[in-house]
Amino acid sequence: MCGIVGYVGKQPAAPFILEGLKRLEYRGYDSTGVAILADGAFRVAKKIGRVANLEKEIGRQPLAGTYGIGHTRWATHGGVTDANAHPHVSSDGKIALIHNGVIENYAALKQVLLGQGFTFKSETDTEVLCNLIAYHYDRLSVAGDENRLLAAVRQALRHAEGTYGIVVMSVDFPGEMVASRKGSPLILGLGEGENIVASDVSAIVARTQSVVYLKDGEIVHLTEKNFRITTLDQVAVAPTVDKVTWKITDAELGDYTHFMEKEIFEQPVALENAMRGRFSEDGSTAQFGGLNITPHEFRGIERFMFCACGTALHACMVTEHMIERFARMPVECDYASEFRYRNTPLYRNTLFFVMSQSGETIDTLAALREAKRKGYQVLAINNVVGSTIAREADGGIYQHVGPEIGVASTKAFTSQLLIGAMLALYIGRMRDLSFGAGVRYVAALKSAPDLVRQTLLQAPAIRAIARKYAHYTDMLFLGRLSLFPIALEGALKLKEISYIHAEGYPAAEMKHGPIALISEKCPSVFLVPQGEIVNKIVSSMQEIKARKGPVIAIITEGVELPAGLADDTIVVPDCHEAVLPIVMSVPVQLLSYYIAVARGCDVDKPRNLAKSVTVE
């Protein structure tokens, strides 16, 4: 959460930083701020609300200068006010700072700094860190020492507990910047005569595709021509320069109204990208390049553990179903946030997986670290190349779906479902899944993009249904087996973007409590595939109908519902079990999206949310 950008170069800093902040806005949009260093002073502009608000303000009084920092905030400590917006400037006016993370011991540090005569304008932990750096900077006051800022930041960070990605400037050293990270992402962009530091590559790719992913505990001193990375203990770090493969246009809206809409419609191509080159030559199984575990070692695994948060956890739950069903192996799933504190007993020969679109979710990262600490091998299913989770995992599978900007995850989710299904196939083929079954399974997975394309053709019909239901305040999503997690996902999607209270349940569980909610005011969305339990689901629908609950049925082709049972019906193509959750996800996403649009909600930036949750 929070997006940060720092720029040192020869071009005007403010427009570049604002552009970068717009691309990072999905990380937080409570307030925005910029500090430009020019003529020996910081010129700071900050404002609650979106980047566009600040841009308007700056438009009236342009900030000239070629060195600067900017921030888009997701509030943690201190309310959403102009004063709490970043950048913060130390009370002696020497240091300016932007920060993503939480300084946990800020209250104790603040007391010490108040005793030293520092004053505070905000309620934030960040201003405390800023003054702490100023305190050390002042004590290091050796004229002409170009490493004074670096030394001050290093010393201050030794006293700071918590998480941070920070960029710091000093009035005395225009053209220099210091950045460091612990638990929050930070990436260095190496340009021609300019250097950039930002929370993620989307703020950088407009200028350069050469990036260095900083690691926890590293600190970088940068100027427009050079950069030098060391650890907090002053050990030099040899940087690895990576090339970003995606283009700036991948993160632009094009003809769509919202990123969520764009990303829903990108799913056929996203699925093609996620499966490309990942089937064996004989067409009977999946193959993955980056697992870093041999088939022989894999064969020795006796169970699997999956940890993730939110939508990614729902993808894990579907994967659990697929591995149990097709590979006949035990799988456990847990919320990453719970796993890290539960001290769960893990079996020997367990292979641990984490799933995360961003690769920066702090709870998922903590689960990964906890599993590694216990000596388990951890693999990651992750979209963002070079993310912290990708780097700390022992191996893994990239989703390859390009940047996902909408806060509500869609294409990342269905690609996680695909990869989970491929993993089940891979494991299944090592065990009892026959060659023929493998071939049919592969053919089914290959058909997924087209099945999704066909389903997307129903968007206008789903929009009409969504308009009918947009005024409700409560909704249930009900599914069974592999579609139970899709019901959970439907409820999550709806509540996060439309603010309608929604719950997901296994359809049969509905009788054990949630049915008390049912009335003409609470519609239920049923996910109904062909197969042996269709009659059971129909019985659950009858129970809802008997209590006057409106019913939306999402059925696969061939399912015949008793006349009048569903108020509205959406039909998706019938398909292989391994693909069913992917196909069923599409109408669920569209329904939520169009309901949110009909309610006039800010779909891509829902209130209180941020795309990647990098604080506990």
Q: Binding of ligand AGP at residue 402 (CB under 6 A)?
A: no
Q: Binding of ligand AGP at residue 409 (CB under 6 A)?
A: yes
Contact partners, residue 66, CB within 8 Å, separation at least 6: 7, 8, 9, 10, 11, 12, 13, 38
Q: Binding of ligand AGP at residue 356 (CB under 6 A)?
A: yes
CA distances from 168 to 54, 180, 471, 571 (A): 21, 9, 48, 55
**CA-based nearest residue to 518, from 489, 564, 565, 476:** 476
Q: How far is the CB of 495 from ligand AGP (least distance, A)?
A: 10
Using CA atoms, how far apart are residues 309 and 361, in angstroms rounded to an integer? 8
Q: How far is the CB of 359 from ligand AGP (least distance, A)?
A: 7
Structure-token pair, residue 415: 């690609």
Pick the catalytic residue from 46, 493, 545, 611.
611
Q: Binding of ligand AGP at residue 134 (CB under 6 A)?
A: no
Among 197, 274, 309, 333, binds ligand AGP (CB under 6 A): 309
Q: Which stretch binds ligand AGP (CB under 6 A): 255-263, 294-302, 353-361, 371-379?
A: 353-361
Q: Which stretches of 68-201 are DSSP H helices? A: 106-115, 125-139, 148-159
Nearest CB to ligand AGP, comparing residues 32 and 361: 361
- Asked if 51 and 72 touch (Cβ cutoff 8 Å), the reply is yes
Q: Binding of ligand AGP at residue 612 (CB under 6 A)?
A: yes
Decide if 611 is catalytic: yes
Q: How far is the CB of 311 from ligand AGP (least distance, A)?
A: 3
Among 84, 357, 377, 498, binds ligand AGP (CB under 6 A): 357
Kind and range of the H or E element at 59? helix 51-60
Among 358, 377, 498, 524, binds ligand AGP (CB under 6 A): 358
Site track for ligand AGP across 266-305, x = CB under 6 A: ----------------------------------------
The residues facing 307 across adjacent strands are 334, 354
Q: Binding of ligand AGP at residue 488 (CB under 6 A)?
A: no
Q: How far is the CB of 315 from ligand AGP (least distance, A)?
A: 8
Q: How far is the CB of 575 from ligand AGP (least distance, A)?
A: 24
Nearest CB to ligand AGP, comparing residues 559 and 595: 595
Among 70, 189, 310, 523, binds ligand AGP (CB under 6 A): 310
- The total of other beta-carbon atoms located within 10 Å of residue 324's CB is 15
Using CA atoms, how far apart are residues 590 and 162, in angstroms rounded to an integer? 39
Structure-token pair, residue 90: 């130390």
How many residues line the site for ligand AGP (CB under 6 A)?
15
Return the biggest CA–CA distance within the chain: 85
Q: How far is the CB of 364 from ligand AGP (least distance, A)?
A: 5
The residues facing 372 across adjacent strands are none
Which runs of E-coded beta strand occur in 238-365? Answer: 242-243, 303-308, 331-335, 350-356
Among 407, 445, 494, 586, binds ligand AGP (CB under 6 A): 407
CA distances from 234 to 153, 188, 223, 338, 556 (A): 12, 19, 18, 36, 61
**CA-based nearest residue to 592, from 520, 449, 492, 506:** 492
Q: Binding of ligand AGP at residue 378 (CB under 6 A)?
A: no
* CA atoms within 13 A of residue 95's CA, in its CB half-sphere: 30
CA distances from 123 to 76, 93, 107, 120, 216 (A): 10, 18, 10, 8, 26
Q: Binding of ligand AGP at residue 388 (CB under 6 A)?
A: no
Q: How far is the CB of 603 from ligand AGP (least distance, A)?
A: 11
Q: Binding of ligand AGP at residue 491 (CB under 6 A)?
A: no
Q: Which stretch binds ligand AGP (CB under 6 A): 187-195, 224-232, 356-364, 433-441?
A: 356-364
Helix/strand/coil for 17: helix
Q: Binding of ligand AGP at residue 613 (CB under 6 A)?
A: yes
Among 2, 222, 393, 408, binds ligand AGP (CB under 6 A): 408
Q: How far is the CB of 371 from ligand AGP (least distance, A)?
A: 16
Q: Binding of ligand AGP at residue 199 (CB under 6 A)?
A: no
Q: Is the bond preceding 460 in cis, omega lying within 30 degrees of 0?
A: no
Decide if 225 is catalytic: no
What is the contact surface with ligand AGP in residues (CB under 6 A)?
309-312, 356-358, 361, 364, 407-409, 496, 612-613
What residues are labeled active site?
Answer: 2, 611
